Structure 1
Amino acid sequence: MRLHNKIAIVTGGGSGFGAGIARKFAAEGAHVVVADINAEAASVIAQEIGGTSQHCDVGDRASVTAMRDAVIDAHGHLDILVNNAGATHLPTDLENVTDADFDKVFHVNIRSVYLTAQAFVSHFKDRGAGVILNVASTGGVSPRPRLTWYNASKGWMITATRGMAVELAPAGIRVNAINPVAGETPLLKSFMGEDTPEVRAKFLSTIPLGRFSTPEDMGNAACFLCSDEASMITGVAMEVDGGRCI
């Protein structure tokens, strides 16, 4: 019960890594607000774990503000914010990525961190405590070819994490990130371009531990970083990648 009585938001919590984080947080005693642009998926996970669901477009200011107001009205405060929602473009030569795909990546991976910070940091400052966890990527550390603008968005997220950590530490707010390697999530096919045994084998050959990451892996890492056990850890971008970035 490392998160006993904590109130947590997990964006993109309706599937993939976000669902794994939401399940782990709930198992460790948190009340989890499962936020997702897919309201039905959010509701399914929320019902499973005894949390609440919240429809949210994380790149839209009005939607993020509505999420903040709903959470504060319902629970009085927030302890943990997990910026997990993510988007990518298909593996494409960088000069051929469309404006629409670039804008989607910017909207979900970058603008969301900016908007949620503006929505919740003042609340955390007033409380003198709070934890923010950004779900970045190994792509932000060791970029894969033909995912350049996705890689860049995750590199931005890692730099933002460190900048936020330094600025917000005096207010008692910790900010960390985790860098997953690709896993069995709805984005896997997008990362690989196509999902065949041959492509999977080639991808797995770059991961020393020889397997994809799982939602449970992310939940375990996220739980530690968001718990009081990590009270001296801020500004870290932890690889959860089976050794890929070594």
Structure 2
Amino acid sequence: ACHGKGSWHAALPKTQVFEKRQTIVNPAKLTMGVAAQICGACHNRGKSTAKKGSGWPVGYEPGKALSAYYSSTSFEKGDVKHVYANEFSKGHHQQFIDWQQSKHSSEGVTCTSCHYVHQIGMPQTRSQTGKPGSMQCFECHVQVNTNMAHSIHSFANCIGCHMPRIAKSAESGDIRSHVFVTLLPEDTLNNSQIPNSCQTCHKHKNDDLNDLQAAWKALAVLPKPEGKEIEAVEYKYTR
């Protein structure tokens, strides 16, 4: 599933060490986009393009282009059961669908940038991340803006807002979104079927949406600069 056909590897004798290595795909040696598609072969939902009626990418092998074997589901395609109207996932094992829409995807941050696959030498965490919870975010986001909601949510709970629990596996809200975008109250006001980050928190669960949106807008207004404007200094170049 991750390293290619194990049968080829097992068929070669132990003495053919280098040949055996060549039969195994190492995702770490692939380009970012190709490696992420290996995860997308399972953490996805859609239909096979090779075999009618199959829900998995028939014929796909690690290192190949997943899109040639699989077509992901979407709200636009009519899947209202597993995807919200804003194309965020509400079904389980659809992290790849979310990730493709994210800024992480366009910036080269992949699944293995945060998650580990082999636990050897790694601490055990709930989601198999290098660091627990929002501590993983600080591996890259060392400077966090203190404006807007960050000014009051100072308890370093990045994933609480940017990865809200809006997808369902066993029960509603037990899986986090992987688009890494804060869903505002106005998103729910515009479409009642779309959840928002604020009300996934127990503190704001029953708060009025209009009040929550007004509070966010108040935080989004940046303070006006104070003091006198510095006059421009004329620069003369001399040799």
Bin the TM-score by the shorter chain: under 0.3
Structure with greater contact order relative to length (CA < 8 Å, sep ≥ 6): 1
TM-score, structure 1 normalization: 0.24
Higher helix content, 1 or 2: 1
* Rg comparison, structure with higher value: 2
